[in-house]
C-alpha cells in the first residue's frame, strides 16, 4: 500500500478439499476469507502479492497461472464463483436472461430452442423467479441479485465451487433452499468451499469447518466435532459459537487487530481468556488447531464429559 505499508491479508493458510466435500470458511469481517477465495481465481487487486501454491486436480498452480489460462480454462469451468458482491459482478447493461444465456452457451454448448428452457432450469436452481429474467441488475433487490449470481455460478458444474457469502440478503427459508442446492453441487464428486458468517448455514452444509482469525486459519475440524461434541478447541472458535443467540449469546469482547499491524504472537491473545506469556509466540498450526492451550483444553473438556 501507499508509503510501503503492508497488509498481511492471509498468512500460512494450508488446507485441502476432497472431491465431494464441503468446507465452510468462517470468521469475522475482515479476517481474509474473500482474499483467500479471490487468490484461487487470480482475482486479487493489482497491488496484491502471493506466495505458496494452490493445486486443483493436478492442474497448474492457480497462484502463478497466467491470466489467459485462468480466463480460458479455470474461471467458470474448473472453478465456479458466487461472488460476495453479486451486484458488482453482474453486467449492469444486460438482462439476467442475456447473462444466463451467454454463460449456458459458453459452458454447456446449448443452442437454439433448447436455450429458453435451459435458462429457466438454471434460474430455478437458484430460486430465481422466471418473471424477473428480463430485468437488469439495477432492477433487482440484493437477494435477487444474489440468486442471479448463484444461478450463473452453478451453470458450469465446475469441479470446485467457491461461494462467498451466498446467502446474504435471503430470508431463512431461502437460505436453506440455497444451501441445499449448493450441497447438491457436491454430488458426483464436486467440491464446495463456502464462505459464510452464518454458522447455522455452515452447520447445515459443511463436512469440515475452517475458522479464520486475522488472516490465519486457527482451527480446521470436522463439522460434527465443531458443532457437536467435543466442540471447537480454539478459544476464538469457541467464542464464535458462544456468541450465537441460540447458544450463550455472549459476544467476544474487544476487536480483531489491524492486519497491517499484527502482534508477534497469537493475534487473538489480546481478547483471549486463556492467554498467558506463551502466547507472545505464534502458535504453530498442529493437528487442526493453532493454540498453545488447545491440548490442555482438550483434557479439561474430556474431564468435564466424564463428570457429566
Ligand X SMILES: Nc1ncnc2c1ncn2[C@@H]1O[C@H](COP(=O)(O)OP(=O)(O)OP(=O)(O)O)[C@@H](O)[C@H]1O
* Cα–Cα distance, 100 to 133 (Å, whole number): 9
Single out the residue of 257, 217, 213 nearest to residue 236, CA to CA: 213
Pick the binder of ligand X from 45, 92, 112, 113 (CB under 6 A).
Answer: 45
Pick the binder of ligand X from 17, 20, 30, 87 (CB under 6 A).
Answer: 30
Phi-psi region of 207 (alpha: psi -120 to 50; beta: other; left: phi over 0): alpha
**Contact between 146 and ligand X (CB under 6 A)?**
no
DSSP state of 284: P
**Contact between 150 and Ni ion (CB under 5 A)?**
no
What cell numbers appear for 137 in the block? 441488475
**Contact between 51 and ligand X (CB under 6 A)?**
no
What is the bridge-based pairing of β-strands 22-26 and 208-213? parallel
Nearer to ligand X, 25 or 70 (CB): 25
**Contact between 201 and ligand X (CB under 6 A)?**
no
CA 116 to chain CA mean position, Å: 32
Give the C-alpha distances (Å, rounded to integers) separating 2 from 32, 257, 287. Answer: 20, 20, 38
**Contact between 35 and ligand X (CB under 6 A)?**
yes
CA 112 to chain CA mean position, Å: 36
Q: Which does 48 bind (CB under 5 to 8 A by kind): Ni ion, ligand X, none?
A: ligand X
Beta pairing partners, 195:
25, 164
Site string for ligand X, 7-26 (x = CB under 6 A): x-x-----------------
Q: Which among 27-35, 90-98, 120-128, 285-293 is the span making contact with ligand X, rule CB under 6 A?
A: 27-35
Q: Which among 30-38, 52-60, 119-127, 133-141 is the span making contact with Ni ion, rule CB under 5 A?
A: 30-38
Nearest-10 Cα torsion for 183, 150, 46, 136: 180
Site string for ligand X, 230-269 (x = CB under 6 A): -----------------------------x----------
Pick the binder of Ni ion from 32, 34, 110, 182 (CB under 5 A).
Answer: 34
Interface with ligand X (CB under 6 A): 1, 7, 9, 27, 29-35, 45, 47-48, 84, 259
Amino acid at each position: 500500500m501507499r508509503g510501503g505499508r503492508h497488509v498481511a491479508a492471509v498468512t500460512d493458510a494450508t488446507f485441502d478439499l476432497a472431491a465431494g466435500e464441503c468446507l465452510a470458511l468462517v470468521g469475522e469481517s475482515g479476517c481474509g476469507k474473500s482474499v483467500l477465495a479471490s487468490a484461487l481465481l487470480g482475482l486479487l487487486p493489482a497491488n496484491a502479492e502471493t506466495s505458496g501454491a494452490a493445486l486443483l486436480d493436478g492442474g497448474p498452480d492457480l497462484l502463478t497461472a497466467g491470466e489467459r489460462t485462468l480466463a480460458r480454462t479455470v474461471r467458470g469451468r474448473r472453478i465456479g464463483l458466487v461472488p460476495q458482491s453479486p451486484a458488482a459482478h453482474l453486467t449492469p447493461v444486460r438482462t439476467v436472461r442475456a447473462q444466463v444465456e451467454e454463460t449456458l452457451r459458453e459452458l454447456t454448448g446449448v443452442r437454439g430452442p433448447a436455450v429458453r428452457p435451459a435458462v429457466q432450469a438454471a434460474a430455478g436452481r437458484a430460486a430465481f423467479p422466471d418473471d424477473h429474467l428480463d430485468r437488469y441488475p439495477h432492477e433487482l433487490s440484493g437477494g435477487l441479485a444474489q440468486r442471479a449470481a448463484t444461478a450463473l455460478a452453478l451453470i458450469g458444474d465446475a469441479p470446485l465451487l467457491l461461494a462467498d457469502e451466498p446467502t446474504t440478503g435471503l430470508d431463512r427459508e431461502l437460505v436453506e433452499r440455497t444451501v441445499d442446492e449448493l450441497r447438491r453441487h457436491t454430488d458426483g464428486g464436486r467440491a464446495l468451499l463456502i464462505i459464510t458468517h452464518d454458522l447455522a448455514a455452515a452447520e447445515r452444509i459443511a463436512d469440515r469447518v475452517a475458522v479464520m482469525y486475522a488472516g490465519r486459519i486457527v482451527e480446521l475440524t470436522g463439522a460434527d466435532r465443531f458443532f457437536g461434541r467435543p466442540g471447537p478447541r480454539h478459544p476464538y472458535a469457541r467464542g464464535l459459537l458462544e456468541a450465537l443467540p441460540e447458544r450463550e449469546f455472549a459476544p467476544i469482547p474487544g476487536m480483531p487487530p489491524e492486519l497491517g499491524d499484527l502482534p508477534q504472537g497469537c493475534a487473538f491473545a489480546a481478547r483471549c481468556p486463556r492467554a498467558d506469556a506463551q502466547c507472545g509466540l505464534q502458535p504453530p498450526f498442529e493437528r487442526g488447531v493453532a493454540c498453545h492451550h488447545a491440548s490442555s483444553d482438550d483434557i479439561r473438556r474430556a474431564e468435564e464429559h466424564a463428570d457429566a
